[in-house]
C-alpha cells in the first residue's frame, strides 16, 4: 500500500487550494452519471466542483449534492479557462448537441496544459471524430470503447489488453486507463496493472465514480504526475469496492454507495 500516496493537504488553505473541476456530464437518460462523477470529485478531496449540464438535471442533482456549483453547458464552455481540471463524457449522451459540445470543449482547451479526463460518451464521440486532445489527457475506456477508439473488433482488444492499452496511449498521446478485471494504466511506455477490485465494481455507474475520483486527485495537485494520479485513482476506486463489499457483498454494492466508503480507502493510505 505504501506505493500509493494521497496529495498532501496544507492546513492554511481554502477551497481554491485544492483545485476547481469543471464536469461536463449527464443527459436526459443519464442523470445519475452527473451525480456520481461530481460527488466523487468532492469526496476525493477536490476543493470545488462545478457540474455543467442540462437544466432538468441540475434540479435533480442539486438536491442530492448542494455542495457543488451548477452551470448550464453554455456557461461551462464560457468559463472553461477558469478551471484547473476538466472532466467530460460521463452520461453526456450522443445527441447532436452533446457531440457539438464535446467538440467545442476539446477545441477550446486543445492547446492548454489543463488536465482533462475523457470518459464514456466522450470516448464514443472521440472515436468518430479526429480531434486534437489537450497535452495532459487521461482516457478511461472499457474494452468495447477501446475497440471503437482503435477501430478494431472487441476480440482483438481482449486478446492483447496490454498492447491495446499502449496503442491507445500512442494514438491519442495520452494516459490510457483500460478498465478490466485488472485495470491497465499506461502512457505508452510505462505500464502498470492494478491488482485490486472485485465484481462489485461490475455495475452501471462505477466508471463515473472512477472518473470523478481521478479528477478530484488531479485537482489537488500535490506534485503527482498524470500517470501517478491515474494509478492512485484506479487503486482508490478498486479498494473502495473491496471495502464496500465486505459489508454489502459483491452482489449488492451500488455505484452510489462507493463514495460513501471512499473515505475508508483514503484513510488506509493516510494512516499507513
pLDDT digits over 62-95, tens only?
A: 999 999 999 999 999 999 999 999 999 999 999 9
The CATH code of the domain that includes 266 is 3.40.1190.20
259-268 long-range CB contacts below 8 Å, 24 or more apart?
A: 259/36, 259/39, 259/40, 259/43, 259/209, 262/40, 262/43, 262/44, 262/213, 262/236, 263/43, 264/240, 265/235, 265/236, 265/239, 265/240, 266/6, 266/44, 266/45, 266/236, 268/1, 268/239
30 in any annotated domain: yes
Cell 455505484 belongs to residue: 255
4 in any annotated domain: no
Look at residue 96 in the predicted model and tell me its pLDDT.
Answer: 97
Kindly tell me if the per-residue pLDDT of 3 is higher than 90. Answer: no
User: pLDDT, tens digit, for every residue of 168-185?
Assistant: 999 999 999 999 999 999
212 closest CA partner among 192, 196, 194, 236: 236
Kindly tell me if the per-residue pLDDT of 272 is higher than 80. Answer: no
255 closest CA partner among 21, 24, 23, 40: 40
Half-sphere exposure of 216 (CA within 13 A, CB side): 30
Look at residue 2 in the predicted model and tell me its pLDDT.
Answer: 52
Cα(202)–Cα(88) distance, integer angstroms: 21
Half-sphere exposure of 242 (CA within 13 A, CB side): 14
Do 102 and 88 contact (CB within 8 A), yes or no?
Answer: yes
Phi, psi at 118, each rounded to 5°? -115, 125
240 in any annotated domain: yes
The DSSP code sequence of 186-217 is: ESSSSEEE-----GGG-STTHHHHHHHHHHHH
Do 68 and 49 contact (CB within 8 A), yes or no?
Answer: yes
What percent of the chain stands above pLDDT 90? 93
Query: Residue 173 sits in which domain range?
Result: 15-270
Look at residue 1 in the predicted model and tell me its pLDDT.
Answer: 43
10 in any annotated domain: no
91 in any annotated domain: yes
Domain count, the chain: 1
Look at residue 111 in the predicted model and tell me its pLDDT.
Answer: 94
Look at residue 146 in the predicted model and tell me its pLDDT.
Answer: 98
Sequence-distant (6+) residues with CB within 8 A of 90 are 23, 25, 26, 30, 33, 34, 36, 37, 119, 120, 121, 122, 207, 208, 211, 212
Rounded mean pLDDT, 250-265: 98
3 in any annotated domain: no
The sign of the CA dihedral 48, 52, 55, 60 is negative
Do 89 and 123 contact (CB within 8 A), yes or no?
Answer: yes
User: pLDDT, tens digit, for every residue of 185-239?
Assistant: 999 999 999 999 999 999 999 999 999 999 999 999 988 999 999 999 999 999 9
244 in any annotated domain: yes
Amino acid at each position: 500500500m505504501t506505493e500509493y500516496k494521497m496529495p498532501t493537504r496544507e492546513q492554511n488553505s481554502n477551497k481554491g487550494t485544492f483545485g476547481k473541476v469543471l464536469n461536463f456530464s449527464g443527459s436526459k437518460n443519464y442523470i445519475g452519471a452527473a451525480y456520481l462523477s461530481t460527488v466523487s470529485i468532492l469526496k476525493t478531496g477536490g476543493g470545488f466542483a462545478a457540474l455543467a449540464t442540462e437544466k432538468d438535471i441540475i434540479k435533480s442533482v442539486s438536491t442530492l449534492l448542494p455542495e457543488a456549483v451548477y452551470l448550464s453547458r453554455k456557461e461551462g464552455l464560457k468559463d472553461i479557462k477558469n478551471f484547473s481540471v476538466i472532466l467530460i463524457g460521463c452520461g453526456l449522451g450522443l445527441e447532436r448537441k452533446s457531440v457539438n459540445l464535446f467538440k467545442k470543449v476539446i477545441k477550446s482547451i486543445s492547446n492548454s496544459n489543463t488536465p482533462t479526463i475523457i470518459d464514456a460518451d466522450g470516448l464514443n464521440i472521440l472515436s468518430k471524430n479526429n480531434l486534437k486532445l489537450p497535452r495532459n489527457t487521461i482516457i478511461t475506456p472499457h474494452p468495447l470503447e477501446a475497440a471503437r477508439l482503435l477501430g478494431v473488433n472487441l476480440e482483438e482488444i481482449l486478446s492483447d489488453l496490454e498492447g491495446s492499452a499502449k496503442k491507445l496511449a500512442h494514438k491519442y498521446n495520452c494516459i490510457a486507463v483500460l478498465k478490466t478485471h485488472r485495470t491497465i494504466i499506461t502512457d505508452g511506455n510505462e505500464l502498470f496493472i492494478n491488482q485490486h477490485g472485485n465484481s462489485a465494481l461490475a455495475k452501471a455507474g462505477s466508471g463515473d465514480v472512477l472518473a470523478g475520483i481521478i479528477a478530484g486527485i488531479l485537482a489537488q495537485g500535490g506534485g503527482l504526475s498524470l500517470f501517478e494520479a491515474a494509478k492512485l485513482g484506479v487503486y482508490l476506486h478498486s479498494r473502495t469496492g473491496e471495502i464496500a463489499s465486505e459489508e454489502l457483498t459483491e452482489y449488492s454494492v451500488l455505484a452510489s454507495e462507493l463514495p460513501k466508503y471512499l473515505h475508508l480507502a483514503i484513510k488506509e493510505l493516510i494512516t499507513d
